[in-house]
Amino acid sequence: MSGNHAFSKLTAEFASERREEIANRASKLKTEMALKELRQAFQLSQSELASKLNVKQPAISRLEQRTDMYVSHLRQIIEAMGGQLDIVARFRDGEVKITNFDFTNSAS
């Protein structure tokens, strides 16, 4: 083989604290992604996503670069990838799902 080894074998000799730190970082990376990274994780090209949304590819490129967008646009993108968008406010005492952005409950 060309030097490919399972990650678990590479880290087998690490101290348990180090392995735990790596696992925590990996878990965090899986839960925090930019929109572009999410699209890539689903192995969708910008053109394929554009087709699903009935827009042109440059529109997807612009959306992925934005730091501010309408919730409705973000919801459309997530749903085109097969997901569901939930808006959750996190407080010290708990979490609250904001439901007025939930289009599944509206009559639109």
CATH of the domain at 58: 1.10.260.40
In a domain, 8, yes or no: no
User: Are 105 and 99 contacting, i.e. CB atoms less than 8 angstroms apart?
Assistant: yes
pLDDT at 107: 42
In a domain, 69, yes or no: yes
Q: Which domain holds residue 81?
A: 35-103
Of 79, 66, 71, nearest to 36 by C-alpha is 66
In a domain, 81, yes or no: yes
- 88: which 2 tokens? 């959750």
Q: Which residues pair with 91 in a beta bridge?
A: 94
Residue 6 lies in a domain: no
39-72: pLDDT as tens digits: 888 899 999 999 999 999 999 999 898 888 898 8
Residue 19 lies in a domain: no
Let me know if residue 2 belongs to a domain: no
The burial of 80, by beta-carbon neighbours within 10 Å (0-12 exposed, 13-18 middle, 19 or more buried), is given as buried
In a domain, 90, yes or no: yes
The sign one gets for the Cα dihedral 76, 78, 84, 90 is negative
pTM for this entry: 0.62
| 20 in any annotated domain | no
What distance lies between CA 62 and its chain's CA centroid?
Answer: 17
Q: How many structural domains comprise the chain?
A: 1
